């Protein structure tokens, strides 16, 4: 019994559509990146203030905010790293993104500190936060393209 070409095409289209759904549900949403960025800058600014009550309040806000974000992601229940979908290219992309933002933040913070600029860690954190807020969704788009380009049957 042979399958008519049109039925095979429809079945393949359905498989690709389902895969796109799986990929989309495994991406970190845009709101998460902006929220993490805002929490990070607020926490660093609070710590760098050196004022005890500001540090304590900033720490509490950060811990509660981060906990709420993690709970929201867990309740969403679908975001998880799937090595078979992301592949080596995806892993390298994530590592490069992380290393670049870390280098920018640390490098800028130390440079500003050496120049005697007030609040160097907070100012060094701002481009990192912007990188997270805008680069995170861009990274997710890149990872989506990588995952959708992988063969349907695996390697």
**Domain chopping of the chain, boundaries:** 29-149
The pLDDT assigned to 72 comes to: 86
The pLDDT assigned to 81 comes to: 58
Residue with tokens 């970190």: 28
Residue with tokens 């007030």: 118
Of 39, 26, 27, 43, the closest CA to residue 136 belongs to 27
pTM greater than the 0.85 cutoff: no
- CA–CA gap between residue 93 and residue 137 (Å, rounded): 13
Residues 55 and 106: beta-carbon distance below 8 Å: no
75-117, pLDDT tens digit by residue?
776 556 567 777 888 889 999 999 999 999 999 999 999 999 9
The pLDDT assigned to 121 comes to: 95
The pLDDT assigned to 25 comes to: 64
For the chain, list residues with pLDDT below 70. Answer: 1, 7-8, 19-26, 77-82, 152-155
- CA–CA gap between residue 54 and residue 64 (Å, rounded): 15
Report helix angle 136-149 to 5-25, nearest 10: 150
- CA–CA gap between residue 5 and residue 134 (Å, rounded): 43
Per DSSP, helices labelled H in 1-155 are: 5-25, 30-49, 52-76, 83-114, 120-130, 136-149
Across all residues in the chain, what is the average pLDDT? 86
Give the list of residues 6+ apart from residue 109 with CB closer than 8 angstroms, or none.
120, 121, 123, 124, 125
């Amino acid at each position: 019994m042979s399958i008519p070409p049109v039925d095979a095409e429809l079945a393949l289209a359905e498989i690709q559509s389902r895969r796109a759904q799986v990929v989309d549900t495994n991406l970190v949403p845009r709101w998460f990146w902006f929220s993490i960025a805002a929490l990070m800058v607020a926490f660093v600014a609070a710590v760098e203030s050196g004022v005890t009550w500001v540090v304590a309040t900033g720490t509490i806000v950060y811990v509660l905010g981060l906990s709420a974000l993690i709970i929201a992601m867990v309740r969403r229940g679908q975001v998880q790293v799937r090595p078979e979908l992301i592949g080596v290219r995806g892993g390298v992309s994530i590592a490069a993104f992380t290393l670049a933002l870390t280098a920018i933040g640390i490098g800028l913070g130390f440079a500003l500190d050496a120049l005697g600029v007030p609040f160097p860690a907070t100012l060094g954190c701002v481009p990192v936060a912007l990188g997270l807020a805008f680069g995170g969704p861009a990274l997710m788009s890149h990872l989506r393209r990588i995952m959708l380009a992988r063969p349907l049957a695996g390697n």
